[in-house]
Chain A
C-alpha cells in the first residue's frame, strides 16, 4: 500500500498444531520469531520497522488459550488469547474482579479490544499497559509453556524493563490466574490520557485496599503506577505508610506524596515528567479516597 504508512514487511505466518511444536519452533528460530496473539502491538511495531521477525507464530488456537474458568476456592483462570472485551464482559470477572474489567475497558476502542488481549498487554511490557496494574494488585500469575515444559511466573518479578520480561525464547504464556481477592477489598483504576477515552495513559494509578489484621493500621493497600518508570511501578513507600499509620485524611495525603516522591517519570510526547509527578500525587489521593470510603 503506497500511502504514508508502508505495508507490512515480509514474514511467514506459522500455525503449529501443539504448544510443544510452537515452543520448539520459537526456540529454533530464536531472535527471528515471536508468538502472535491479537497482533495489536506486533502489527504496528512490524509495520513501523521496529520489529523484523521472519516468523509470526500463531498461538491463539492452541489448547485452553481462550477459556475462562472461575472456581470459588482456587480463583480465576483466563486463557491467554481471551480478548479484552471477553474479559470485561465475563459475569464472574464483573462480579469478583471488577477492577480487571474496568482496566480492560479503558484500553483503546471497542473494535481494538476484540483483538487486544490482557496477556499480550502484559507480555508487551509497556510501562503504559492499562491492564498490568490491575493484574499485579490482584496477584496475577502467568502460566508459561517453554522448551522445558510448564512453569509459572508471578507478575511481581516478571518485568525487567520497557519491552523486557523474564520470558525466554520458546516461552508461550498460556493463561493468567488470579487467587480469590482478599475479603472486603475494593479497587480503583484511574487513567489520565490526553483525551477522556481511548488514549494511552500519561499516568495510570491502580489501587487495591482491604482490611488486614496483620498490619498496624488494620488495612493493606497495593498501589501500582503506569507510565512513570521503565516498568510498572509498585509504590512501596506509599503502601508502607498506609500499613503503618492509623488511616486519616493526613495519612492518605502522606501516602499520595510518598507515591509522587518515589516515582521517576520521564518527559515524552504525552507529558512532561513534572506534570506526571503532580498527577501521580493527585490521582493516587483520589483513588485512595474512593477505595478507603468503600472499605473502612
Chain B
C-alpha cells in the first residue's frame, strides 16, 4: 500500500506527516499528531465527535482520508483558544453547565464556531440544525443550545 508525504497547516503551525492511503484524517490527527481533542465516537459520520475545520468549513474527520488534507488548513478544538484564553462558546458552555462527560464537546465547539462564523445571529432553529450532526448522550441538548445562544449575546456585546 502506498504512503504519501503531506503538509498541513494545523492550528496555525505547519506539519509534515507521512500517511498510508487508508488512514483517516481522524486517525492522523489523534495518532500521528497527538491532537486527542478530536474524538472517535463512531468512525461513520454519524456522531460528530470528530468534527474539525478544514479550509474554513466543518467536516467529519473520520469521513476524510488523511492524504486528502495535503495543503489544507485545519483547526481542531486545540486551536480555538488564543494564548490560553477560551473563546466565547467555550466560556458559555462552562457557564451554562453544558458539559457532562465532555466527549461530544470538541465537536460541538467546532460546529458552533462554524455556525457563528457563517451566521453571527442564528435563530434557535438554525442552531439546532447546525448541531444535528453532533450527538450528545449526556446533556439532553437544552443547555448546549442555551450556551450557543449565550455566546451569540456575548459576541453582540463585544461588537
Interface of A toward B, CB cutoff 8 Å: 1, 3, 5, 7-13, 38-40, 43-44, 47, 56, 58, 85, 108-112, 114-115, 197-198
Contact = CB atoms under 8 A, between A and B. Distances in A.
Given A3-B43, A114-B59, A109 B27 contact: no
Given A38-B63, A43-B65, A110-B58, 15 more contacts: A1-B27, A3-B40, A3-B43, A8-B22, A10-B20, A39-B63, A39-B64, A40-B63, A43-B45, A108-B133, A109-B132, A110-B114, A110-B130, A111-B133, A112-B45
A39 B65 contact: yes
B63 A43 contact: yes
Nearest to A55: B21
Contacts of B105: none
A12 B21 CA distance: 5
18 contacts: A5-B42, A7-B27, A8-B23, A10-B21, A11-B21, A13-B65, A39-B64, A39-B65, A44-B45, A47-B43, A108-B133, A110-B115, A114-B54, A114-B57, A114-B58, A115-B60, A197-B128, A197-B129
B21 A13 contact: yes
Contacts of A5: 42-44
A40 B65 CA distance: 11
A111 B60 contact: yes
B2 A12 contact: yes
B113 interface: no
Given A110-B132, A198-B132, A1 B65 contact: no
Interface string B37-52: 0001011110010010
B76 interface: no
A115 B55 CA distance: 12
Interface string B52-90: 001001111011110110000000000000000000000
Interface residues of B, number: 36
B2 A111 contact: no
Nearest to B27: A1
Contact of A11 (B22, B44, B111, B132): B22
B155 interface: no
Contact of B24 (A8, A108, A109): A8
B97 to A, nearest CB: 25
Nearest to B50: A111
B1 A10 contact: yes
Given A13-B4, A110-B58, A7 B63 contact: no
A13 to B, nearest CB: 4
Contacts of A56: 21, 65
A128 to B, nearest CB: 15
B43 A111 contact: no
Nearest to B60: A111
Nearest to A48: B44
Contacts of B129: 110, 197
Nearest to B62: A43
Contact of B57 (A11, A85, A197): A85
A40 B67 CA distance: 16
A7 B21 CA distance: 12
